[in-house]
Amino acid sequence: MTTKSRVKKGARDFADFETSIQQLESLIETLEDEDTTLEQALQAFEDGVKISRGLQESLQKAEQRVTVLLEKNKGMAVTDFEDLEDSA
């Protein structure tokens, strides 16, 4: 896979992730709406669980990619995000 195709795939994955987040937010609004029937709420909940699982899988894959990149560049210093926030 070329660098250009990897960048396109990464952008597509990010867009898919963002779309899933928006879908999840929409489902939450449906669940919070007092006019939502029980059947609609159950369907929204079920859909939300499926989307949530997909998002979790995407995050795990991203974490694995970051781990591989860090392994390849062992000489580079790694700073925890929380450490960056504390120093700000």
pLDDT band (50, 70, 90) for residue 85 = low
HEC profile of the chain: CCHHHHHHHHHHHHHHHHHHHHHHHHHHHHHHCCCCCHHHHHHHHHHHHHHHHHHHHHHHHHHHHHHHHHHHCCCCCCCCHHHHHHHC
Residue 83: domain span: 3-87
Q: What is the CATH classification number for the domain harbouring 46?
A: 1.10.287
Our count of domains for the chain comes to 1
pLDDT in tens, 5-22: 665 666 677 789 999 999
Q: Is the pTM of this model over 0.75?
A: no
